[in-house]
Amino acid sequence: MIKQTHVFRVKPGQELMAEVLKYCHQNNITSGIVLGIIGSATGARLNYLTELPGKFQGESYQGPLEIVSAQGTIALKGKETIVHIHAMLSTPQRCFGGHLVEATVFSTAEVAIAELTTPLTRYADSQTGLNELLR
């Protein structure tokens, strides 16, 4: 069940993932769904899962970029809050998406999070080598 919906803005020059995690800490959000993020970025880094167990390839993109869409989860692994977001980014020529590692906000990023009453947790999965969602 949804406990509360949070909507906030990340400002120019701020790092998006760090600000989402900071907001979660400030508002005691440990379980939630990132409903969406839209905005723009000066640059971003995405990861792509290339093989199991848990091997990634990273790619950096320079902007300006539109943050067309982003969604994900917020969960605890032990006492650590894990923010897991996948994003679709675009330039006038192309779109690309993947696991969002970092993005520096250009003009704005509007973030919507549904805080849940049901706890979401992550665990280290030996098969995938990743921190998988338990619930």
Cα(42)–Cα(107) distance, integer angstroms: 9
pTM: 0.95
What residues contact residue 1 under an 8 Å CB cut-off, 6+ apart?
A: 116, 117, 118
Q: What is the pLDDT of residues 68-121, one digit of tens each?
A: 999 999 999 999 999 999 999 999 999 999 999 999 999 999 999 999 999 999
Cα(35)–Cα(6) distance, integer angstroms: 10
Cα(23)–Cα(25) distance, integer angstroms: 5
Q: What is the pLDDT of residues 34-60, one digit of tens each?
A: 999 999 999 999 999 999 998 999 999
Q: Which amino acid is at 9?
A: R
| CATH class of the region 2-118 | alpha beta
Residue 134 pLDDT class (50, 70, 90 cuts): confident
Domain ranges of the chain: 2-118
Closest of 99, 98, 104, 97 to residue 131, by C-alpha: 99
- pLDDT computed for residue 52 by the predictor: 93
- pLDDT computed for residue 135 by the predictor: 63
Omega before residue 12 within 30° of 0, cis:
no
